[in-house]
Amino acid sequence: MLKRLLGDPNARKLKRYAPIVSDINILEEDYVSLSDDELRTQVTEFRSKIEKASESLKNNNAHTYQFLEETSCTEEQLHISKIEARKI
């Protein structure tokens, strides 16, 4: 009875993954025709792109943490100044 109301959970998962599988199958057509050396070159290029993206993320994370530290310090200072302002 629940299957009739909610549908088959496996069918929902398959439906959700179908576009991804389709994209992968399209990409496969491009790589089937490559020789072993061309595939090795592609792998090297992919690794290089991943490494660059990883470095970019690390840099962004470092800047984000620095910003958060500066912001939290500023919030503490604002809080203290508000307390001091109330005393006046």
Q: What is the mean pLDDT of each run of 10 residues along the chain (88 residues)?
A: 73 92 92 92 94 85 74 67 66
What was the pLDDT predicted at 37?
A: 95
What was the pLDDT predicted at 88?
A: 58
Examine residue 22 and state whether it is found in any structural domain, yes or no: yes
Examine residue 1 and state whether it is found in any structural domain, yes or no: no
**What does the alpha-carbon distance between residue 65 and residue 71 come to, in Å, rounded to a whole number?**
10
Examine residue 76 and state whether it is found in any structural domain, yes or no: yes
What was the pLDDT predicted at 78?
A: 64
Examine residue 48 and state whether it is found in any structural domain, yes or no: yes
What was the pLDDT predicted at 1?
A: 59
37-56 burial: b if 16+ Cβ within 10 Å, else e: eeeeeeeeeeeeeeeeeeee
**Whole-model pTM above 0.85?**
no
Number of domains the chain is built from: 1
Domain range enclosing 81: 7-87
What was the pLDDT predicted at 70?
A: 73
**What does the alpha-carbon distance between residue 9 and residue 11 come to, in Å, rounded to a whole number?**
5
